Amino acid sequence: MKYVKLFSALAIIMAVAISPTIGAFAQTDVNADVSITAEKSDKQIYKEKQQQVREQIKEQRQDLKSKLTDLQNLRNDRLSAHAEIDVVPSLEFTGKVSGWAVIGGQAVPATFDLSGEAGKIGPRGWKIIGTATAEIGDRDITFDLQGHARGNHVSLKGTTNEFDNVVIHLNGYFAPVSDDTGSFALAFHRSAIINEQAQIRIPLILVGQVNTTPIGDTLPPVVESVDISSELTALFN
């Protein structure tokens, strides 16, 4: 009888001792569930914010692309307007520019032999028609060029009979060589060969020189002399 009472008392003591532990475990499980739910909620919010940022960047890129397309169309319209003007050529030019064509992220040597004619458009403008024979790597291709120059800016567009969808844009600067009458330095830096169908663009970085010869009795353009020494002194002082 004593043993029975003793076992009963021990059972009650163990039940009382275990009950808080069970409650603690149960509370821990609840806290863990709440923590997991909160973590999932944070991840979902983060993903939604990321998606919003991606959409904003996409919209900005699309807007920039549309603006660039509008500028390109405007430039093409101007080129077409100049191309329709009937101009009597007054100068012949020949020369070469060389540099690099960026293909697959690597710079490949490129050389362009230039030749053609130019006629005056207004006091400072020129209409240009000619050809550019390009040697890029192991490939040769000839482009028919037309475009215009004004001030110190030159813009040319070229097409080729070999490929219907390939065009070239040569944009940059030119200036008369100070100690060589009739020669002009060229720098094409905003230039590229483009396959419009495949949407492939090969940037070009080209510099060089062309020599001009008057056609018939036409006098060469008058270039005002500049005191180079004083200009450099003013620049670097």
Q: Give residue 194's pLDDT.
A: 93
Q: Which residues pair with 51 in a beta bridge?
A: none
Which of 201, 206, 169 minimizes the C-alpha distance to 188?
A: 206
Q: Which residue is associated with the tokens 């004619």? A: 117
Are 118 and 126 in contact by the 8 Å Cβ rule? The answer is yes
Q: Give residue 73's pLDDT.
A: 62
Q: Which residue is associated with the tokens 């940059």? A: 172
Q: Give residue 34's pLDDT.
A: 59
pTM, two decimal places: 0.60
Q: Give residue 25's pLDDT.
A: 47
Q: Give residue 138's pLDDT.
A: 86
Are 87 and 121 in contact by the 8 Å Cβ rule? The answer is yes
Consecutive 10-residue averages of pLDDT for the chain (237 residues) = 51 52 52 65 82 87 76 62 67 95 93 94 88 92 94 94 91 90 92 89 95 75 63 67
| Residue 107 CA from chain centroid, whole number | 15
Q: What is the DSSP string of 123-148?
A: TTEEEEEEEEEEEETTEEEEEEEEEE
DSSP state of 227: -
Are 174 and 183 in contact by the 8 Å Cβ rule? The answer is no
CA 170-204-122 angle, 5° bins: 15
